[in-house]
Amino acid sequence: MSVDVLLPSPVPVRFVAEDGTAVQPPTGYQVPEEERLLEAFRRMVVGRRFDRQATALTKQGRLAVYPSSRGQEACQIAGVLALREDDWLFPTYRDSVALVSRGLDPVEVLTLLRGGWHCGYDPAATRVAPQCTPLATQTIHAVGMADALRRKGEDGVVMAFIGDGGTSEGDFHEALNYAAVLHAPVVFFVQNNKYAISVPLAKQSAAPALAYKGIGYGIRSEQVDGNDLVAVLSVLDAAVEHARTGGGPFLVEAHTYRMDPHTNADDASRYREKQEVEQWEAADPLARLETYLRGRGVLGADAVEAAHEAAEKFAARVREDMNADPEADPYELFEHVFAEATPQLREQRALLASELED
């Protein structure tokens, strides 16, 4: 295979400028259908409101922690829209908006961040792996699932979300090599939000772009403006089609920005300047898409208002459901520890039972 085929575009693929005006994209990419773009807008509005609500729940003691993805909605929503229902998604801890957009119950999505002992939802039923907190470990699992689908003769695709910090982990590189050798139908979607907690990208990698990390493993790669929903969806559509039709793995790097702190426990002002945040605020993905769709005459004020009303109703339901105290069974502590309970585990369970009786 020629190296030229693997190389990403020299600059990130873009369809829409920061001010919402259309620009000429590179050849080979198509503008997604208007109905999909309108659906993306609706989902982004709901997703951002959900994100704000989840952040508020941490301050109310209803969530232990919440990693916001405000500013990354174009990536979150495009990643979901590019997949079929029978495809698999392997998310990170920052991808709650994507999971909610895929149709998962928001309370189930937030169970892990609430402090539950499991991920909250059924991965097999939803075809969504548990949100992964250890960096990059889900990428190897994603390749294994993709290879399993291929061996079973299914035409499903797996998409693994990962942050820029995760690309510095050995698991990520092992996954790339594994995927390339197996010719697995997997898309690695890197959301480069410029910081691995407090570590800026310049101190993580000297590569001209993270997309180039796929070349050494023989993986077709691309980079895209991650705040341009139109471009992200177009590139991911192409990547998923490449993987689904036997082209093997594909690596996409989306250049975006994490507007909020790493989590509610982080003080981002200690490692980034206010001016930097304000610059990225001007490239807001939701405002950019709304301006673009209004300019094309396909999005009116009534539709915008309807989207925000739906978002408020969704947030109200999340609030109500999350304010209900979950019923905790203390004996769940002893479930799923071993296939068969050990004498020590049975002894501990009996001790708890005696204490609860008292």
pLDDT at residue 1 in the model? 67
Handedness of CA 312, 91, 203, 73 (dihedral sign): negative
Q: What is the pLDDT of residues 257-276, one digit of tens each?
A: 999 999 998 999 999 999 99
pLDDT at residue 336 in the model? 84
Secondary structure of residue 28 in the 3-state scheme: coil
The residue that leads in pLDDT, 231 or 117, is 231
Asked if 310 and 339 sit in the same domain, the reply is no
Asked if 64 and 203 sit in the same domain, the reply is yes
Spell 40-76 as b/e; 16+ CB within 10 A means b.
bbbbbbbbbbbbebbbbbbeeebbbbbbbbbbbbbbb
Asked if 68 and 217 sit in the same domain, the reply is yes
Asked if 210 and 264 sit in the same domain, the reply is yes
Asked if 190 and 313 sit in the same domain, the reply is yes
pLDDT band at 2 (very low <50, low <70, confident <90, very high): confident
CA 219/CA 7 separation, integer angstroms? 9
What's the structural domain count of the chain?
2
Asked if 337 and 192 sit in the same domain, the reply is no
The residue segments making up the domain with residue 348 are 328-358
Asked if 168 and 194 sit in the same domain, the reply is yes
- Read out DSSP for 155-171? ---EEEEEETGGGGSHH
* Average pLDDT score over residue span 4-19: 95
What CATH number should be reported for the domain holding residue 91? Answer: 3.40.50.970
Asked if 60 and 82 sit in the same domain, the reply is yes
Asked if 274 and 292 sit in the same domain, the reply is yes
* Average pLDDT score over residue span 204-224: 96
What is the percentage of the chain residues whose pLDDT exceeds 90? 93
- Catalytic residue ranges: 258, 262, 271
pLDDT at residue 26 in the model? 86
Asked if 223 and 349 sit in the same domain, the reply is no
